[in-house]
Structure 1
Amino acid sequence: MAVTRTTSMLRPDYGGCDDGRGSRKCNPRMGARVGGRRASKRSFGVESGSVAAKRAGSGKFLLVGAVLAIQFVGAAAISSKVGSDIQVDFKMPKEAVVGASIDLRCEWKITGGSGLYSVKWYKDDHEFFRFLPDSSQRTQIFPRPGVKVETRPNSEKKSIKLKDLVLESSGQYKCEVSTEAPSFATTYQTANLTVILPPESGPEITGLSLHYAVGENVTATCIAWPSVPKANLQWNINDEPIPRENVVPQPPMMGQSNGGIPNSLGLRLETEHRHFMGDGKLVKIKCIAEVGSRKYETERKVQMAYVNNQRLSAGDHMNATAPNIRTDLLAKLLTAIFALVLFTT
């Protein structure tokens, strides 16, 4: 309102040309004596004030925009400065097993004349190790669950060692490097670690017979030992993935006291001629368990059986020839007895 008033008071008083009846054929110099013209004068002043208010609003908008632009440029300049003063290269394994030790290495390069102020290490944004080269206590360790730092002689502390890893050691790790004056720059890099509990051995396959005839149903179950994360199971037949419709999901299994979780997966399919390979007519059935980046495999070989007066499998052939063997022995025994009787008489 103050701007409106100020603007309207500064405007010249020669715009009262309305006689109150819509006519603009009045004398501008008589505006001060005619009531209607004074009203028009006041109306003109409000209208001018409105325009001034719009201009004032535009001015405020431009001013705010200019301030934000300056702040943005300043922030961009700081980010660029930080990036140009420090280069950080953080390296660590992506995966490790429970009980293992790993090295975390943070290489940095500082330019622009600034010195090193600190190197800080974090797990999930919680600091667990600090190196201050110019401090009376150059290194500090802060306790964190799942983080056990092994101290080692290293003047620059560009690497640290974590030992006795546990499942809780999994998470995001960060190396942060800061400089002294004049830049006071800070740069960091992050990396993720997954700690796994591998199974004690490869998966087990249960329910398979030693031989199957073409057209016979095959049912089996693959059981993976407890692990963290839970093993991802899949079936292969002759080194080819088995179609999803032949895979039978199993109910979840109870976890173990060490956190490991077992898993199982069923198989059901009807054998075909294409499944049996080679002269021995064998089919290879394999179960694969994936835990993290590791694979564990178990394979079983099944022999083809023949029916309908065809060649039988080894087991069936022995069962079929057993009666013939007994008949031959009986015939030989009877012949010997008959010969003995004739000899004695």
Structure 2
Amino acid sequence: MKLGIVYLLLSYVKVSICLQIVGISVPAMKQRGDSVTMACDFDLEGGRLYSVKWYRDNEEFYRYMPRLRPPQHAHRLDGVKVDLERSSARRVHLRDLTLKSRGLYRCEVSEEAPSFHSAQSEAFMEVYYFSRESPRIEGHERLYEVQEPLDVNCSSAKAYPAPQLQWHIDGQMVTEPSWLLEFAPKAAAQGLFVSQLGLRAPAKPHLRLRCVAIMASHRRERTVVIETNSTSRRVFSNWILIYLLCTFIIRHKTVS
């Protein structure tokens, strides 16, 4: 009796370890419009493959069954376009990604009878959109008094997800919390968002401001210059001096 139980347990262990997912390859982030190849590496340990199925958020979109002819089949799913010619038992190729392509992707592998044992693995893929447009800066056109708090705001171009914004003053990133005014991302058309960040640093003569929008390894930026009344008066005075000097030279030559 005991030997029979031991035999059954050993048989169960043997069957349960026959199939395993060695690894799943799903990129963490892709850009809208890109293509992607997802890989599912498995080891049957001598067993026979029954099927490989791919799911996004628990909805099946691709199936490979070697017994069928053709062995591949793609299901219609919003945001998922399968390229059957570039897909196989161990990979699935998607083209023309959209924002709806984001989600949790799962690979499920099953063995043939008698075990029909299965194994699965999953990973999340984010799909982003980052416009080539630079951020927009408002409030820099007016003249400020020295030490007057700036009233400058930066808005990113429409993107998904909402990009991170940074302010830089004369090449140094602003980290002083009291100088930064954070806004919640603003919803835009087609599921996109606009990020906004205000700057309230004290004005100084001839400040160079740069706003940087960041998403993954991509950056977009715009630079403006803030002038103060003292700067304007100084520039005006310099022009007056130049004018007077030129007038003196011309009159001196005329007299000579």
Q: How does the TM-score come out when normalised to structure 1?
A: 0.60
Which of 288, 291, 305 pairs up with 2:212? Answer: 288
Distance 1:80 1:323, change over 3 A: farther
Residues 95 and 244 from structure 1, CA distance in 2 versus in 1: closer, same or farther, beyond 3 angstroms? same
Q: Based on CA coordinates, which of the two structures has the bigger radius of gyration? A: 1
Tell me, in whole angstroms, the C-alpha distance in 2 between the residues paired with 1:222 and 1:230: 13
The change in CA–CA distance for 1:191 and 1:267 in structure 2 (over 3 A counts) is same
Q: Deviations over 1:279-319 (max 9, x none)?
A: xxx75432122335533233345689977xxxx85x34533
Quick one: distance in 1 between partners of 2:209 and 2:156? 16
Change over 3 Å in CA distance of 1:85–1:286 after alignment to 2: same
Distance 2:125 2:222 in 1: 29
The alpha-carbon distance between structure 1 residues 79 and 200, as it changes in their structure 2 partners (threshold 3 A), is farther
In structure 2, the partner of 1:328 is 248
Distance, in Å, in 1 between the alignment partners of 2:218 and 2:13 is 41
Whether 1:297 and 2:221 are equivalent positions in the alignment is yes
The answer as to whether partners of 1:128 and 1:141 remain within 8 angstroms in 2 is yes
Deviations 1:310-341 (A, max 9, x none): xx85x3453341562476379559x75xx9xx
Shift of 1:115: 0.8
Alignment counterpart, residue 74 of structure 2, candidates 114, 117, 141: 141
Is residue 115 of structure 1 aligned with residue 35 of structure 2? no
* 1:103 counterpart (4, 16, 37): 37
Q: Which has the higher contact order (CA 8 A, sep 6+)?
A: 2
**Structure 2 SS opposite 1:299:** strand
- What's the counterpart of residue 19 of structure 2? 85
Letter in 1 for 2:25: K
Q: Secondary structure at the match of 2:100?
A: helix
Alignment partners' CA distance in 2, 1:101 and 1:241: 37
Unaligned runs of 5+ in 2: none
Mapped contact 1:203–1:297 kept (Cα < 8 A) = yes
Per-residue Cα deviation, 1:193-238 (whole angstroms, up to 9, x for no partner): 1111212322123333699886354332212111112223222333
Determine which of 147, 156, 176 is the counterpart of 1:215. 147
Counting only pairs closer than 5 Å after superposition, residues 1-345 of structure 1 correspond to structure 2 as 81-111=15-45, 113-152=46-85, 156-208=88-140, 215-237=147-169, 238-250=171-183, 253=186, 255-256=188-189, 258-271=190-203, 284-291=208-215, 294-300=218-224, 315-322=235-242, 324-325=244-245, 328=248, 332=252, 336=255
Q: Structure 2 CA distance, aligned partners of 1:133 and 1:124?
A: 25
Q: Distance in 2 between matches of 1:332 and 1:323?
A: 14
Counterpart CA distance in 2 for 1:78 and 1:306 is 85
Aligned pair count?
248
The letter of the residue matching 2:127 is V
Q: Whose helix proportion is higher, 1 or 2?
A: 1
Coordinate RMSD, CA, aligned: 3.7
Structure 1: distance between partners of 2:91 and 2:48: 19
Letter in 1 for 2:39: R
SS at match of 2:201: strand
- CA distance in 2 between counterparts of 1:270 and 1:153 reads 58
Residues 230, 251 of structure 1: CA spacing in aligned structure 2 closer, same or farther, 3 A cutoff?
Answer: closer
TM-superposed CA distance for 1:182, in Å, is 4.0
| Residues 317 and 109 of structure 1, relative CA distance in 2, 3 Å threshold | farther
Between the aligned partners of 1:110 and 1:122, the Cα distance in structure 2 is 20
Letter in 1 for 2:60: E
Cα distance change, pair 193–80 in 1 and its aligned pair in 2 (3 A) = farther
Give the TM-score of the pair, scaled to structure 2.
Answer: 0.78
Quick one: distance in 2 between partners of 1:327 and 1:216? 37
Question: Cα offset for 1:240?
Answer: 2.7
SS in 2 for 1:218: coil
Instruction: Report % sequence identity.
Output: 26
Higher share of residues assigned strand: 2
Contact 2:140–2:225 (Cα < 8 Å) also in 1: no
Distance 2:167 2:144 in 1: 18
Structure 1 residues 168 and 107: CA distance shift in structure 2, 3 A:
same
